[in-house]
Amino acid sequence: MSLADLIQAEIKKPGTKCGIEAVYEQLDETDAATLHEVMASKVAHVVIYRALAKQGIEIGRSVVERHRKRECACVTL
């Protein structure tokens, strides 16, 4: 496979869905809407990570970052 083919394959299916998807499932509608909003904002990754941790949601800091950079297969931000 050429590099171009491999890049196209990655664009079509960029890895797997990350832990953020499960986080959204744990949140109520209001909190999920807030998280969507903040994920799309310029708020630092660590702020989101710490706030989630305080809510008892354990998710890696790097997961938050990868998800926001859309390096996972999640459809929603």
State the residues that interact with Zn ion by CB under 5 A: 18, 20, 67, 72, 74
Q: How far apart are CA 46 and CA 62, in angstroms?
A: 9
The nearest distance, CB 2 to Zn ion, in angstroms, is 28
CA angle 7, 13, 15 (to 5 degrees): 95
Closer to Zn ion by Cβ: residue 15 or 50: 15
From the number of C-beta atoms within 10 Å of its C-beta (0-12, 13-18, 19+), residue 7 rates as exposed
Choice between 48 and 74, CB closer to Zn ion: 74
- Identity of the residue, 3 or 20, whose beta carbon is nearer to Zn ion in the bound complex: 20
CB of 1 to Zn ion, least distance (A): 25
Question: Residue 3 corresponds to which tokens in the numbers above?
Answer: 């590099």
**Closest CB 11 distance from Zn ion, rounded Å:** 16
